[in-house]
Amino acid sequence: MNILKDEPYGTTKGFLLSSAAWMVAGSLAGFIGAVEMVAPELLGNIPWIAFGRIRQIHTNLVMFGFVGSALVGAAHYLVPTLLRTPLHSERIGKASLWSWNLAITAGVVTLSLGYTQNREYAELIWPIDIGVLIVLALVFYNFLQTLRRRKENLLYVSIWYIVGSFVFTFFTYFFGNAVWNPETGSIIGIPDAVLAWFYGHNIIAFFFTTLAVAVAYYIIPIVARTPLYSHTLSLIGFWTILIMYSHIGTHHIIQAPVQTWLKVIAVTGSIGMLIPVLTVLVNLWLTMRGRLGNIHADVAGKFVFAGSVWYLLTCLQGPLQSLPSVQRLTHFTNWVVGHAHMGILGFAGMTALGGVYFILPRVTGRSLYSARLADIQYWLILIGMTGFFVVLTTAGLIQGNGWLNGEVVYRILPEIHLYMVLRASLGILIAGGAIIGLYNIFMSLYGPKGETS
């Protein structure tokens, strides 16, 4: 078997299937973590799935494995299509695909064995970091060469976002993981907290957010069957997200003894984020105006539309919770976990799934195996995610209230127990959706010819 086989869109197909598989594994890991929060002794304290480890396995699998693979796969479709030029090298693409999956697999094994650098979203140990950096460099090189040979002169905004994402993510990953310090992957003291959240924030900003926006910008006009409302607005959104989003990671550590000027920049920038966010959303929604019927008749359009609504909600909540007075209540509570799921699953994840279902028929040349299963997956995830939002936000407010009243943590735990049970139950919907998705995506790629999409 030639794993580097040169076939059109082979890289994209590989990334889309990987995303589906990692979504199943990652959701199940999240479910195990959720069960442990309901009944800590139930799973018998098995070391490799102890909460501290399974949580890191969950976040790495769902973020890089599920959402990351889908977005990178989508980028491998968007770049050649928008530039009207075949991808420079499917072999390099395949090499990135296999190295990416190897890095994620190695990440799961090492994290389960307890090898971690313990900085959020930067847990993977040094050799794996190097693997990830190599993948990012390979993808960037492949896109750059495709750009050089392009037949299309006009660079649609999705191309700007994709190329920008890979430049930024490479440097964010390099500096954020302090790769020059293999032992710890960190620097010392408070500057490390600032660096860690420069990383944690910018990986969300310039990997997940910008790639998801690139996908939404591509899919919405096609599904709505009308040109983008405004190319000028799309570029204003692009440059303002670069200006506003890149240096506000300190809003994650407002309550740490970090320099005040840095906090002031973080909070004002967080409010300024409303400019790029609303610019993108207004542009997408005005493109859809009067055409919601088209969007909702297409499962890919539905996913991307729902993603855009979650983007709005996440980004209204974000500036609010960056205010010190609000964060005093919400920080260190499930409110933030709710926000994280809204952003990564509701916005980036649902948009990425829209990308998957949009691209699959176009790279296989036949309809989806089952549009109905995709629709069921959509509803399971939408209901599960909405439930997560309600349950985790409520639990967070109860915790925050206890926090402000000086209650000790163990007194609050019984009060949020019901919410933890509900969260675990809702997780079954999302994990179920992931399993259905894997089956559907696998069958769309390798199964018999499907029904109409």
Which chain residues interact with ligand HEM by CB under 6 A? 23, 26-27, 30-31, 33-34, 37, 55, 58-59, 62-63, 66-67, 120, 204, 208-209, 251-252, 270, 273, 277, 314-315, 318-319, 321-322, 327, 330-331, 336-337, 339-341, 343-345, 347-349, 423-424, 427, 430-431
- Residue 245: closest CA among 214, 218, 277: 277
181: left (phi over 0), alpha (psi -120 to 50) or beta: beta
CB of 253 to ligand HEM, least distance (A): 8
Nearer to ligand HEM (CB atom), residue 10 or residue 33: 33
Cα 279 → chain centroid: 21
CB of 445 to ligand HEM, least distance (A): 20
CB of 225 to ligand HEM, least distance (A): 28
CB of 452 to ligand HEM, least distance (A): 28
Nearer to ligand HEM (CB atom), residue 13 or residue 55: 55
CA–CA dist 115, 112 (Å, integer): 7
User: What DSSP letter does each residue of 137-183 carry, written as one string?
Assistant: HHHHHHHHHHHHT-S--S--HHHHHHHHHHHHHHHHHHHHTTTT-TT
Nearer to ligand HEM (CB atom), residue 396 or residue 450: 396
Contact yes or no for 136/100 (Cβ under 8 A): no
CA–CA dist 445, 320 (Å, integer): 43
CB of 53 to ligand HEM, least distance (A): 12
Q: Exposure of 301 by Cβ count < 10 A (0-12 exposed, 13-18 middle, 19+ buried)?
A: buried
CB of 338 to ligand HEM, least distance (A): 8
Nearer to ligand HEM (CB atom), residue 88 or residue 423: 423
Dihedral Cα 85, 87, 88, 90, nearest 10 deg: -150
Nearer to ligand HEM (CB atom), residue 10 or residue 343: 343
CB of 120 to ligand HEM, least distance (A): 5
- Residue 222: closest CA among 156, 294, 159, 286: 294
Q: Is 4 helix (H, G, I), strand (E, B) or coil?
A: coil
What one-character DSSP code corresponds to residue 119?
Answer: S
Nearer to ligand HEM (CB atom), residue 301 or residue 427: 427
Report residue 261 as tokens. 């000027």
Cα→Cα distances 212→5, 295, 305, Å: 28, 17, 12
CB of 297 to ligand HEM, least distance (A): 26
Contact yes or no for 161/217 (Cβ under 8 A): yes
CA–CA dist 404, 436 (Å, integer): 43
Nearer to ligand HEM (CB atom), residue 62 or residue 363: 62
Nearer to ligand HEM (CB atom), residue 208 or residue 229: 208
Report residue 284 as tokens. 């997408």
- Residue 282: closest CA among 220, 351, 344: 220
- Residue 453: closest CA among 358, 344, 312, 340: 358
Nearer to ligand HEM (CB atom), residue 9 or residue 66: 66
Instruction: Please state the φ and ψ torsions of residue 215, each to the nearest 5 degrees.
Output: -65, -45
Nearer to ligand HEM (CB atom), residue 13 or residue 331: 331
CB of 62 to ligand HEM, least distance (A): 4
CB of 148 to ligand HEM, least distance (A): 31
